[in-house]
Amino acid sequence: MGDYAESEPETKAVVNTINKFKENIKIYISFHSYGGYWLTSWAHTTDLPQNYLELNSIGVHALNGIREQNEWVRYSLGTVSQVLYIAGGTSMDWARLKAGIPYAYTVELRGKGFIEEKTNIIPIGNEMWSAMKEIAVNQDDWSNSAVSFREDFKHPL
């Protein structure tokens, strides 16, 4: 929380970096704890964005990736205002509206609290890795982006 939008140095650094590379950024994902939600734009209104069907499709791919790791894990998918409540000032909406990134999400990681048990960190990380891979390998379904997933790129854990 700063005095005004983009007033804090950490926020300025993120904004400046995104603005520098925004022509090459096709997807923005902000990770949070906790709740088990894969949230799409918009947060600030109940209106749906024009590309909601694409956003939803990408979300389905991501959730399929999560289920490849742990088939019992379920995330709720939808706009912030549909699934939770109207929320102003989200980085996801900023990424879409100000930076022009076409696909923006907030992921509320599964768990029981803001501080997760150590035994769940690697499984949750593996689930997110699988979700990112699923998004990348299915990008032809949603984007003509030049980004591609390299099979030789290994998960760091």
- Provide the terminal-to-terminal Cα distance of the chain, rounded to the nearest Å: 33
How far is residue 70's CA from residue 84's CA, in Å, rounded to a whole number? 24
CA distances from 37 to 53, 67, 73 (A): 17, 14, 11
Structure letter (DSSP) for residue 150: -
**Contact criterion met (CB below 8 Å) for 77 and 55:** no
Residue 54 and residue 142 in contact, taking contact as beta carbons nearer than 8 Å: yes
- Is residue 102 within 8 A of residue 113, CB to CB? The reply is no
What element of type H or E holds 95?
Answer: helix 91-97
108 labelled catalytic: yes
Structure tokens at 155: 């998960």
105: cis peptide before it, omega within 30°? no
Q: Which of 108, 116, 117, 151 is catalytic?
A: 108
Please list the active-site residues.
108
